[in-house]
Amino acid sequence: MPKARPTRTPKPLKPLKPATSTAPAAPPPLTPCHYEIYCSTTALTPTAPKIARDYVTAVLKSRHMTLLVDDAAVCTSELMTNACLHARNSVGAVLRMVVDVAGPVALRVTVHDGDPGNQPRLLEGYDPESGRGLRLVDMLTEGHWGTVPGAPLPGGGKGVWFELGHR
């Protein structure tokens, strides 16, 4: 004959404490985030503009800044293409990006190359061979682009930057 199992009496439940209505803690202040990528231009790597464009796109999407993705991708591609075309004999190009969701400018991208000469400029008139890239950058950034001397590369160089998301 099977033995009977002892029965357990459940413990009485404790009364619930009344809910408190405290506000959640404020999130920490948003600080600028810095990103950097190196692309070789010495081997005339045709993929450098695509790599730079995809990198900027991925960072902006991860920061939920999708409204800037298309313009940033086009401008980044143009600047990196110029670095590849006009600074062929330099040691490469460095793309630096600052994303600041709380600042006066949401995005600043600078493409540095090792060629201190060959300053970019908007060409007058229409040239079917070149000059359209900077005109696109100028139009998409509403004129918020320029150059800076020096580069984080051996031998110096220059940087070409653009900004998007002015508040």
State residue 17's pLDDT score.
Answer: 58
**Tens-digit pLDDT string for the chain (167 aa):** 556 666 666 666 566 555 454 444 444 446 778 888 877 655 556 788 888 899 899 988 988 889 999 999 999 999 988 887 776 666 667 777 877 766 778 888 988 877 777 777 766 665 656 667 888 999 999 999 998 887 676 667 788 889 998 87
State residue 113's pLDDT score.
Answer: 79
> Considering only CA atoms, which of 70, 66, 67, 92 is closest in space to residue 80?
92
| Other Cβ atoms within 10 Å of 10 Cβ, number | 5
Q: Which sequence spans correspond to the domains of the chain? A: 33-166
CATH 3.30.565.10 applies to domain 33-166:
yes
| Other Cβ atoms within 10 Å of 143 Cβ, number | 10
Pairwise CA distance, residues 141 & 27, whole Å: 31
State residue 25's pLDDT score.
Answer: 47
